[in-house]
Amino acid sequence: MPQDAKTTYAQSSDIKSRTFLQYRYDMKKKAIAELEVLGWLQERLQKDNPGKPVLVRKSGGDRFLWFLRKGGISRESDYVATVDGKDIEIEFQYGKKQDLQFYDFKVSKVAKKDKKSGKREPLEGKKFLLVDWAGPRYALIEPRWIFENGEYDMVPAWRSYAFRVPFARVDKVLTIDASLKPVCDTIDAKNDILEFQHDWIDISREALSSELQQVVDEDGLVSVVPKDRESFFRICFILDHLNKSPKNANLWLVYLMTWVSSDLSLAGMSKIVYCIDFLYSKVDMKPNEVAIVQKTVASLLLRVQSYAKPDGSFQSTVNHAPLDETRCALFAINLLEDLMQDMIYYYPNVEFKPVRKIFENVRDVNLTRAIIKDESPDECA
Chain segment 276-299, per-residue pLDDT in tens: 999 998 899 999 999 999 999 999
pLDDT at 5 over 60: no
Task: Write down the pLDDT at residue 161.
Answer: 92
How sure is the predictor about 81, in pLDDT bands with cuts at 50, 70 and 90? Answer: very high
For residues 44-70, average pLDDT:
83
Q: What is the mean pLDDT of residues 113-122?
A: 88
| pLDDT value of residue 66 | 75
Q: Report pLDDT for 239.
A: 80
With 60 as the cut, is the pLDDT of residue 2 above it? no
Give Cβ neighbours of residue 84 (< 8 Å, ≥ 6 apart). Answer: 49, 52, 53, 54
Q: What is the 3-state secondary structure (H, E, C) of the chain?
A: CCCCCCEECCCHHHCCCCHHHHHHHHHHHHHHHHHHHHHHHHHHHHHHCCCCCEEEEECCHHHCCCCCCCCCCCCCCCEEEEECCEEEEEEEEEECCCCCCEEEEEHHHHEEECCCCCCEEECCCEEEEEEECCCCEEEEECHHHHHHHCEEEEECCCCEEEEEEEHHHHHCCCEECHHHHHHHHHHHHHHHHHHHHHHHHHHHHHHHHHHHHHHHHHHCCCEECCCCHHHHHHHHHHHHHCCCCCCCHHHHHHHHHCCCCCCCCHHHHHHHHHHHHHHHCCCCCCHHHHHHHHHHHHHHHHHHHHCECCCCCECCCCCCCHHHHHHHHHHHHHHHHHHHHHHHHHCCCCCCCCCCCCCCCCCCHHHHHHHHCCCCCCCCC
Q: What is the pLDDT of residue 16?
A: 38
Between the two ends of the chain, the Cα-to-Cα distance in Å is 26
Q: Average the pLDDT over each of 69-73, 135-139, 186-190 and give the range with the smallest value.
A: 69-73
pLDDT over 60 (residue 160): yes
Please give the pLDDT value at position 227.
Answer: 74
Tell me the pLDDT band of 230, cut-offs 50, 70 and 90. Answer: confident
Cα angle value 354/343/198 (rounded, 5°):
80
**What is the rounded average pLDDT for all residues in the chain?**
84
Q: Is the pLDDT of residue 311 over 80?
A: yes
Mean pLDDT of 86-106: 88
Under the banding of pLDDT at 50, 70 and 90, the label for residue 228 is: confident
| Residue 322 reports pLDDT greater than 80 | yes
- Residue 219 clears pLDDT 50, i.e. is over it: no
170 has pLDDT over 50: yes
**pLDDT on residue 268:** 95
- For residue 118, the model assigns a pLDDT of 85
For residue 48, the model assigns a pLDDT of: 95
| 247 or 288: which leads in pLDDT | 288
* 266: β partners: none
Confidence at 23, pLDDT banded by 50, 70, 90: confident
% of the chain beyond a pLDDT of 90: 57
pLDDT at 352 over 70: yes
pLDDT category of residue 9 using cuts at 50, 70 and 90: very low
- This prediction has a pTM of 0.86
